[in-house]
Copies of this chain bind each other. A is one copy, B any other.
Amino acid sequence: MSFRSRQGFGRVAIFGPGLIGGSIALAIRRHCPGAHLAIWGRDPSRLQEVERFVRPDAVHADPSKAVEGADLVILCTPVGVMTELAAAIAPHLGADTIVTDAGSVKSRVVEELQPFFGDRFLGGHPMAGSERSGLAAARADLFEGAACILTPLPTTPGEILEEVKDFWISLGARVTTMSPADHDRLVARLSHLPHALAFALVNLVTESLPQGSSLLAGGSFRDATRVAASDPVLWTGILSENRVEVVAALREMSALLEKVAGQLEEREFETLLDFFTRARDHRASLPLPSPASTLGTADLIP
């Protein structure tokens, strides 16, 4: 019995009403109007804002209350907070409650939450977001056309995978599955590396060129560094949580740039032309961006 086939009968509890949690809530309101929506936030004073902006059926500052009767629990807090939350809610879940998350790393999350939830937990990561954070940046259409990666284990029951898959599809996402380790290897290169490059490029330009130089930038610098506007605390956390893979990705990129520099220095123009042509062809094979990312707001986020 899928989330969608239940129509209005699904009860969903969202933990962490930031950009991702808030967008999931708004998307549920749009696509699953009959669903019962409970939202947990750490800060009671901010729950009023959640009520106004999302209009959920209930808001809670007590985790055990938020999961009462829930069919689906979605953890959208920073990864570092999830274990503590898991300990607080695990004793209060129903026999059939499914738990998933939207964290940007998966090996660590699955390892830490599995002991609390067992195989009812399925890791997830919607590949959408923004350099902006918080509820004010949330959008009902954030996941439309976006990829969502689910990371089932060999022991994950098929019906749980199907249920969570159906949930994300109903929000407009394209769902892919892979192991937690494959996920972390992939996002280290597909998302964490581009973020690290953006931060590094901004600092290289700003701190090695005369003051004001970045004001002369055209679109290539602006686009390449858009996500450098992201929350530094959040991204220090994400990169540290996926440390081993991100270190490897940074070193691969560093070596590749040194190689390109050497080829340019030696005037190996045919080799460079081939390198750039392959990149152009690979880039051209990407699907057209969703309206969201055309506006520069769709992005990977925890």
A258-299, CB < 8 A from B: 258, 260-261, 264-265, 267, 269, 272-273, 275-280, 282-287, 289, 292-299
Q: Mark A185-215, 1 if CB is under 8 A from B, else 0.
A: 1100111011111111111111111100111
Closest to A235 in B: B276
Contacts A190-B217, A261-B254, A264-B243 hold; do A230 and B273 have CB atoms under 8 A apart?
no
How many residues from A make CB contacts under 8 Å with B?
A: 101
Could you tell me if A257 and B250 are in contact, using CB atoms closer than 8 angstroms?
yes
Contacting residues, chain B, for A146 (C-beta < 8 A): 218
Does A87 have its Cβ within 8 Å of any Cβ on chain B?
no
Does A136 have its Cβ within 8 Å of any Cβ on chain B?
no
Q: Mark A29-57, 1 if CB is under 8 A from B, else 0.
A: 00000000000000000000000000000
Q: Looking at the complex, which one of B216, B246, B252, B254 makes contact with A127 (CB distance below 8 Å)?
A: B216
A218-272, CB < 8 A from B: 218-233, 235-236, 239-240, 243, 246-247, 249-258, 260-261, 264-265, 267, 269, 272
Please measure, in the bound complex, the distance between the C-alpha atom of A256 and the C-alpha atom of B273, giving whole angstroms: 25
Q: Looking at the complex, which one of B186, B247, B254, B297 makes contact with A254 (CB distance below 8 Å)?
A: B254
- A259 → chain B, closest Cβ, in Å? 9
- A289 → chain B, closest Cβ, in Å? 6
Which 9 A-B pairs rank lowest in CB-CB distance, beginning with the nearest?
A: A219-B299, A218-B300, A232-B276, A250-B261, A199-B279, A219-B298, A254-B257, A147-B216, A127-B218
